[in-house]
């Protein structure tokens, strides 16, 4: 993970900084529901964007509603990839505009 100054942070340092679980989401939860996926995405977005979790809904736009800039969006994508043990290619990332979009993408990838 690259920080703003271009230096790397270890995975454990990154998790400690934002308080994420030690285990990837899929390992900790072998069978996950759509609601569980969405809750985890909302948690990740709220932590990275410093946005109140209770104000984030499925229809919330990352850019318009949550005010995530390009760096935050990149960090969110990286944390989602690590949490759900998936890769999101750039083409798919450009299609993810809302929490629902992210949830749909992840649900398809892990089921």
Q: What is the CATH number of the domain that holds 46?
A: 1.10.1200.10
Domain total of the chain = 1
User: Residue 2 domain-assigned?
Assistant: no
69 is catalytic: yes
The model's pLDDT over 64-90, given as tens digits with 9 standing for 90+, comes to 999 999 999 999 999 999 999 999 999
User: For residue 66, which of 38, 47, 91, 87 has the smallest C-alpha distance?
Assistant: 47
User: How crowded is the C-beta side of 94, counted as CA atoms within 13 Å?
Assistant: 3
Mean pLDDT of the chain: 82
> Catalytic pick from 35, 65, 69, 101?
69
User: What global pTM score does this model have?
Assistant: 0.75
Straight-line distance from the first to the last Cα atom of the chain, in angstroms, rounded to the nearest whole number: 27
């Amino acid at each position: 993970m690259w920080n703003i100054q271009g230096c790397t942070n270890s995975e454990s340092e990154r998790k400690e900084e934002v308080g994420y679980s030690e285990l990837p989401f899929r390992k900790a939860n072998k069978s996950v529901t759509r609601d569980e996926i969405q809750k985890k995405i909302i948690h990740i977005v709220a932590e990275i964007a410093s946005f109140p979790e209770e104000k984030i809904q499925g229809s919330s736009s990352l850019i318009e509603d949550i005010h995530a800039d390009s760096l935050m969006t990149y960090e969110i994508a990286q944390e989602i990839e690590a949490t759900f043990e998936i890769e999101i290619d750039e083409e798919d990332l450009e299609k993810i505009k809302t929490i629902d979009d992210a949830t749909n993408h992840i649900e398809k990838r892990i089921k």
